[in-house]
Amino acid sequence: GRLSTKQVLGIVTFMYMWIFPWVYFPASETWNRFVPEGYLTSCTVDYMSADSRFFITGFWFCVWLCPMIIISVCYYQVFVHVSRHEKNLQKQADKMNVTSLRSGDKQTMRQEIRVAKVGITLTTLFLFSWTPYAVVAFICTFGRKDLVTPFVSMVPALTCKLSASIDPFVYAINHPRYRMELTKRVPWFCIREDEQSETRSSVTEKTQE
């Protein structure tokens, strides 16, 4: 079922508490600090100092590895749930000697494929956006600092900002109503969404409510 308001507030509070130390400590210079990076157009944690190994290790584990595991597990569970549901429906249909127990299988399959695409896209974006930072920080902390030039250090600075910029578009571009408006207003954008699928989406949303 849907999450309650208390559950949502609890999850949001936990997320802020989880990330708070990794922002507060460098900002207050209690543990590590924020320093200019690359061409001095942005700031990041100090991964060049010799005494930053423990901070960078904890930062990597809590800010990159754990979120990556959570994202992967959640989308895997969604995939498993959908697959199991489909198999159960098909078994019941076989017992009743019918092709399917549901109408609109084609549309339903399209929706499920769309959800899978969103999950794969967001996971790939997260990896693409934050892995360069993890690699550069580890090279500087545990390897050769001379390999990280100002240009090299700017690459992760740009890719990590890309995630926050693109994620909303990934969600929007896969919503039937948004796609239908794009089909009407910018037909040259190579997006096709018929009104029928949008109507079905509306009916589904009302039914769930």
**Three-state SS letters, 181-193:** HHHHHCHHHCCCC
In this prediction the pTM is: 0.67
Q: For residues 193 and 131, give the distance between their C-alpha atoms in angstroms, rounded to a whole number.
A: 34
φ and ψ at residue 38, rounded to 5 degrees: 60, -120
Confidence (pLDDT) at 98: 64
Confidence (pLDDT) at 202: 46
Confidence (pLDDT) at 198: 47
- pLDDT-derived band at 190 (thresholds 50, 70, 90) equals low
List b or e across 145-158, with b for residues whose CB sees 16 or more CB atoms inside 10 angstroms: eeebeeeebbebbe
Residue range 32-174, CATH number: 1.20.1070.10
Mean pLDDT, the chain, rounded, equals 78
Please tell me which residue, 115 or 142, carries the higher pLDDT value.
142
- pLDDT-derived band at 163 (thresholds 50, 70, 90) equals confident
**Whether the predicted pLDDT of 64 surpasses 80:** yes
Domain ranges in the chain are: 32-174
